[in-house]
Each structure stands twice: as C-alpha cells, then as structure tokens.
Structure 1
C-alpha cells in the first residue's frame, strides 16, 4: 500500500467502524465456542453410540479402549441391510445396500455429537457423551 492509499483508508475508517468490525468478528466466533463447550467431554464421561431405526433405539455400544472389534448386521425392512463395525473408540457403517452409500462414505465417527445416517433405511448412528456418575473413584469401593 502506498502512503496515499493508507491515508485514504484512515480517513474512511473511524474508531467506531473498527469497534463494530471487532464486535462482528467476536460474535461470528461465538457459536463455535458454544458448540465446543457444549460437546466438551470430561475424563469421566462415557461415550456411547446409539443405533436407531425409524427413530427407535435398537442397540447401543460403549466406545472405549476395551471395546472389542465387532461386526453386526441390521435389517431395517425387506431386503435392506446395514453392517455396522465397532472398533474400540469408533464406529461406522461398513456396508449397506442403499443406492448412494452416504453412510458408508461418512466413515468412522467417534466424538459426541457426530452422526452417521442412512436415509433410505432410516438407520442412524448417534454418539453421545454421558456423565459417568455411578463409577466410584476408589478402586476398593467394590
């Protein structure tokens, strides 16, 4: 920028304009901060994946380092099928016979708030973080 163009910008931009721009920037990032805070997971939270068909929960998996690898097939209706793969802290739709394969292309999900949806089969995987209130902090409590 030349010295002349810098003076032109200074003459157009006032302190109140700069304040408004700053406030708009702060407001634009507020939803991101709220979303991050609402899905923040503490160390005591349990991550659970819920499988629902037609809005009804049919299965759930606790996702942790000790969860065994598992493949499970669901038959929502007729000749429709979905193969769900659970691997420790993550889950995915490994295979289905829907035309667009959107749930398969979604891939692995593992964080609370993430979903994988197969619309033609009305199957949804939703991950939620749940507070683990019944776990004692003392090992000898059992």
Structure 2
C-alpha cells in the first residue's frame, strides 16, 4: 500500500496534515522566545553590594574577564573582612570572626543568589543585576 491509498482510506484530510505540521512547528516557539530573553539577560550589568548594619559601604562592578583585586573592610572596633573580586564573582577571603562561615561560603556571581553573610560583623554581600532579574524584583 502506498501513501496515496493510505490517505484515501484513512480519515486524514490534506488540511489535517497542514494543521499538524503547523502545531509541530509552533511547539518550538517557546524555545525561541526564551532563548532571546536569556541573551538579553546576559547583557545586564551586575554589581555586588557590601552592606554593614543595612548601610551601603561599597559597590563592586562584576564584569566577566574583569580585574582581580581585594578590598579590606575594617570598622572602628577592629573587626575586618577581606573581600576578593575576580571578574564576575566575589567571595570573602578572610575574616576575624569566630565561626568563619562567611569565608566557607565561597564565590557568588548570580543575581538573587544567597548572599555572603558575616553575622558577627553584621556584614552582607549581595549580587544585584541592572535589569531587575533577581528574585522578588518587579519591573513596571
């Protein structure tokens, strides 16, 4: 049995084939839309914000392929934190707090990622994106 006989004996009509092909092709539409959105998010600039007691102390620009440098935050009590920025990521290298959880946290680089927190010094480092892509943000 060839294809013409199969089509004649079945309940499939020519427009049914057109509709099926259209539905198959349109099923790939979300893939195209989301891939375009991801390329737009890659263009967003990221910044790491250092806050102590809720007050912004310093803002670090995070750029892929950017420089590597360290910043030492020291308060009047003698507490200090040594922060390292390497391209598009940031981490706490050294601290004189007792538990060292902030040092063990490691690198962060994505907006909305769990921040680096040094609770004994009340210090937080968060990564924020210029396009508002972090969790809980709204763009009107």
Provide TM-score, normalisation by structure 2: 0.62
Aligned to 1:51, what secondary structure does the other structure show? strand
Aligned ranges 1:124-139 → 2 under 5 Å: 124-131=124-131
Unaligned runs of 5+ residues in structure 2 are 1-37, 133-140
1:24-70 CA distance string (max 9 Å, x none) = xxxxxxxxxxxxxxxx7712211110001111011011111242111
Q: How far apart are residue 79 of structure 1 and its match?
A: 1.5
Counterparts of 1:52 and 1:44, CA distance in 2? 25
Provide TM-score, normalisation by structure 1: 0.61
Counterparts of 1:76 and 1:116, CA distance in 2? 18
More moved, 84-93 vs 73-82: 73-82
Structure 1 residue aligned with 2:78? 79
* Greater radius of gyration (CA): 2
Structure 2 residue aligned with 1:116? 116
Q: How far apart are residue 105 of structure 1 and its match?
A: 0.5
Counterparts of 2:75 and 2:130, CA distance in 1? 27
Structure 2 residue aligned with 1:65? 64
Aligned length, in residue pairs: 93
Moved over 6 A (4+): none
Aligned to 1:111, what secondary structure does the other structure show? coil
Aligned ranges 1:1-142 → 2 under 5 Å: 42-114=41-113, 115-131=115-131
RMSD: 1.8
Structure 2 residue aligned with 1:16? none
Counterparts of 2:63 and 2:84, CA distance in 1? 14
Counterparts of 1:77 and 1:111, CA distance in 2? 31
